[in-house]
């Protein structure tokens, strides 16, 4: 199914069928699934999340009054037996009471997450993937203004605002609508959010309504004073984008000399202020081999999180789509990130939905699993949770808001305008047909439609739309859809072939032709051997057999640290004939 942005009608057509290459997974199960599937439980959940005259639901009041030292005598008496029941349950589960109070019962965003999940299960039932009555997470591009001109900017941000950006009053009203629907997490991006003229009243209102707030910034304005104020208004996490650990490369990509130094200092200031801080990187095929060094750099800076941003050719990114990773490069990148996640030195998140699948393939049964763009956990219970909330969340548990109030399924899908907050309520927009389509992972093209990992991944909908024009097509960035990538990049065949061609100046019998005295026999022998290795590796990273990709270095005879994918092997071939 696909929704055209002109008429917003759902159109169905036959999708290409492919042979499934993944092995059927043993189903992970948790007893709670059976309980939540009962009709009586669904009714109870709806009752628990129905708002009362005070604007709060039973679940919110229950958590608020659990072991609350500020409650009066009659309130404590009213909730006495509920508190005793919770104490007993925590003791039986072996959970620390004070920890649970801090991170669950008295932590408003977590309570809102519980209320939203309960309401969603009560409304739609327990679905795979889980459909929600409102997004768990919203990315809000609060302004179009930016102080940089990054080459890969999905927003195509400018140095001036949109003429029709939301007023402060409209922004506060939108926050109220989101809070009323139990939306727990909001990330402000841009443009550059720290230059938004009404940032502070917006953040103050977020604190008042109990949102967990994230700021995604280029970091250049993160002075000690700015960080102190952000912490004061309740910002819980700051994420700074760094494109390379090489200052010159970063500055060239960002369009401003000295940007790297200011951004790195911004990270240090945020860490020093005691705000949880992350470093985010969008790897290209020229920088993907530096992933280990980049993650180590983030650790050395004191970051708690490293975030990988999947490259999507939208906005200004369309102009540099030739720098996108191949499926083989992305697979090896996911493997590297999974290793860092398992090591536990830093939290790892990725906007590439394949990361969830990679945690299953390359990890152990009791290892660490990704539950979505920002979540993680250990063991089989997390694997069960991942089946419901993992993978691409666009239009299913996440959406984006443009500076002028236009709502999209994802910041990387700006072409599909789902609704306008000036014309519809937030609740009405969330119930749109496109969001219903994106909640269905059975109607997907190519291998995404038959993949055994579709509920842990689902493929990136933004990449599918950007490359094929079909939001439900297979994700061409995955090794299981490598055939699709090959078709899309067929125009590059002549370029690839030129890597294997003999350069001018070489002779089969007379050496290099420039008096170098070097026989061509040795390079030809090397060429034959390396070409065989290249062909083997090409088959591995495009066959769809991910387990074989794990052994890419071993099978090709080239160490994994030296070979990132087929492209690098081809580069080696061409370097054999470089004249010095």
Helix, strand, coil in percent for the chain, rounding step 5:
45, 10, 45
pTM score over 0.85: no
CB atoms within 10 A of CB 2: 18
Question: Phi-psi region for residue 274, left (φ > 0), alpha (ψ -120 to 50) or beta?
Answer: left
Tell me the pairing of strands 235-241 and 212-217.
parallel
Confidence of residue 1 (pLDDT cuts 50, 70, 90): very low
CA distances from 484 to 9, 30, 143, 489, 492 (A): 27, 36, 36, 9, 14
Distance, CA of 223 to chain centre: 27
100-104, 187-191, 479-483: least confidently modelled range: 479-483
Distance CA 113, CA 183 (A): 7
DSSP string, 270-333: HHHTT-EEEEEE---TTTGGGHHHHHHHHHHTT-SEEEEPPP---GGGGGGGGGSPPHHHHHHH
Each residue of 290-320: pLDDT tens digit? Answer: 999 999 999 999 999 999 999 999 999 888 8
User: Which residues 6+ apart lie within 8 Å of 7 measured at CB?
Assistant: none
- Placement of tokens 């009404």 in the chain: 198
Distance CA 288, CA 282 (A): 9
pLDDT at 574 over 60: no
CB atoms within 10 A of CB 25: 13
Distance CA 68, CA 57 (A): 17
H or E segment and range at residue 333: helix 327-343
pLDDT at 115 over 50: yes
User: How much is the pLDDT for 543?
Assistant: 40
Q: Are 282 and 315 in contact (CB under 8 A)?
A: no
Domain ranges of the chain: 29-125, 135-440
Question: Percent of the chain, pLDDT > 90?
Answer: 59
User: How much is the pLDDT for 491?
Assistant: 53
User: How much is the pLDDT for 373?
Assistant: 62
User: How much is the pLDDT for 533?
Assistant: 41
DSSP string, 151-173: TT-TT--BSS--TTPPPHHHHHH
Each residue of 84-107: pLDDT tens digit? Answer: 999 999 998 888 999 999 999 999
User: How much is the pLDDT for 61?
Assistant: 96
User: How much is the pLDDT for 486?
Assistant: 80
16-20, 203-207, 353-357: least confidently modelled range: 16-20
Q: Which fold has domain 135-440?
A: TIM Barrel (3.20.20)
Q: Across the chain, which distance is largest between two alpha carbons, in Å?
A: 100
pLDDT at 529 over 90: no
Q: What is the mean pLDDT of residues 463-469?
A: 92
What is the CB-side half-sphere exposure of residue 330 using CA atoms within 13 A? 31
User: How much is the pLDDT for 15?
Assistant: 56
Q: Is 145 helix (H, G, I), strand (E, B) or coil?
A: strand
DSSP string, 176-240: HHHHHTT--EEEEESS-GGG-TTHHHHHHHHHHHT-EEEEEE-STT--HHHHHHHHHTTEEEEEE
Each residue of 121-146: pLDDT tens digit? Answer: 999 999 999 999 999 999 999 999 99
The packing angle between helices 521-542 and 327-343, to 10°, is 70
Each residue of 220-268: pLDDT tens digit? Answer: 999 999 999 999 999 999 999 999 999 999 999 899 999 999 999 999 9
Distance CA 523, CA 315 (A): 44
Confidence of residue 4 (pLDDT cuts 50, 70, 90): very low
Confidence of residue 17 (pLDDT cuts 50, 70, 90): low
Which tokens is 32 given? 């709670």
Confidence of residue 572 (pLDDT cuts 50, 70, 90): very low
pLDDT at 189 over 90: yes
Which tokens is 554 given? 């071993």
User: How much is the pLDDT for 538?
Assistant: 43
Q: Is 431 helix (H, G, I), strand (E, B) or coil?
A: coil
User: How much is the pLDDT for 276?
Assistant: 97
Burial label for 534, CB within 10 Å (0-12, 13-18, 19+), is buried
* Beta partners for residue 212, in sequence order: 185
The mean of the pLDDT values for the chain is 82
User: How much is the pLDDT for 160?
Assistant: 87
């Amino acid at each position: 199914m696909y929704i055209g942005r002109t008429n917003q009608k759902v159109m169905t057509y036959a999708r290409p069928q492919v042979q499934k290459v993944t092995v059927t997974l043993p189903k992970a199960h948790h007893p709670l699934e059976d309980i939540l599937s009962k009709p009586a439980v669904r009714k109870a959940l709806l009752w628990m999340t129905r708002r009362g005259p005070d604007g709060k639901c039973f679940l919110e009041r229950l958590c608020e009054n659990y072991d609350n030292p500020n409650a009066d005598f009659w309130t404590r008496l009213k909730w006495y037996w509920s508190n005793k029941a919770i104490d007993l349950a925590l003791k039986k589960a072996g959970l620390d009471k004070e920890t649970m109070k801090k991170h669950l019962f008295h932590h408003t965003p977590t309570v809102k997450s519980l209320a939203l999940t309960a309401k969603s299960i009560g409304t739609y039932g327990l679905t795979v993937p889980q459909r929600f009555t409102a997004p768990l997470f919203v990315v809000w591009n609060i302004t179009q203004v930016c102080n940089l001109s990054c080459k890969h900017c999905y927003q195509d941000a400018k140095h001036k605002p949109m003429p029709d950006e939301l007023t402060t009053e409209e922004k506060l009203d939108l926050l109220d609508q989101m809070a009323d629907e139990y939306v727990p997490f909001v990330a402000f991006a841009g443009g550059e959010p720290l230059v938004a003229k009404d940032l502070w009243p917006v953040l103050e209102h977020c604190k008042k309504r109990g949102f967990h707030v994230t700021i995604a910034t280029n970091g250049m304005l993160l002075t000690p004073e700015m960080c102190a104020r952000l912490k004061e208004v309740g910002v819980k996490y700051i994420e700074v984008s760094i494109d390379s650990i090489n200052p010159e490369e970063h500055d060239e990509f960002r369009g401003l000399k000295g940007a790297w130094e200011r951004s790195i200092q911004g990270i240090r200031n945020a860490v020093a202020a005691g705000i949880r801080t992350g470093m985010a990187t969008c790897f290209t095929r020229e920088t993907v081999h530096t992933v280990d060094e980049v993650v180590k750099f983030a650790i050395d800076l004191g970051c708690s999180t490293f975030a990988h941003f999947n490259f999507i050719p939208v906005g200004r990114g369309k102009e540099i789509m030739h720098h996108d990773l191949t499926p083989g490069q992305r697979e090896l990148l996911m493997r590297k990130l999974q290793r860092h996640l398992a090591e536990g030195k830093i939290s790892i998140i990725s906007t590439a939905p394949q990361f969830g699948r990679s945690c299953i393939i390359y990890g152990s049964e009791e290892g660490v699993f990704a539950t979505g763009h920002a979540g993680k956990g250990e063991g089989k219970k997390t694997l069960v949770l991942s089946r419901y909330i993992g993978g691409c969340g666009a239009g299913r548990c996440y959406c984006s808001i443009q500076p002028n109030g236009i709502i999209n399924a994802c910041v990387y899908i700006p072409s599909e305008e789902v609704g306008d907050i000036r014309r519809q309520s937030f609740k009405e927009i969330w119930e749109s047909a496109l969001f219903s389509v994106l909640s269905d992972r059975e109607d997907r093209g190519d291998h995404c439609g038959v993949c055994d990992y579709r509920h842990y991944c689902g493929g990136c909908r933004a990449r599918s739309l950007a490359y094929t024009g079909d939001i439900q097509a297979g994700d061409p960035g995955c090794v299981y859809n490598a055939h699709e990538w090959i078709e899309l990049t067929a125009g590059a065949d002549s370029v690839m072939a030129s890597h294997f061609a003999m350069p001018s100046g070489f002779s089969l019998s007379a050496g290099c032709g420039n008096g170098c005295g070097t026989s061509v026999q040795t390079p030809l022998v090397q060429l034959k051997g390396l070409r065989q290795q290249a062909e083997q590796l090409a088959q591995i990273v495009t066959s769809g057999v991910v387990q074989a990709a794990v052994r890419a270095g071993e099978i090709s005879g080239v160490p994994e640290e030296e070979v990132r994918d087929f492209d690098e092997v081809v580069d080696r071939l061409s370097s054999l004939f470089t004249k010095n």
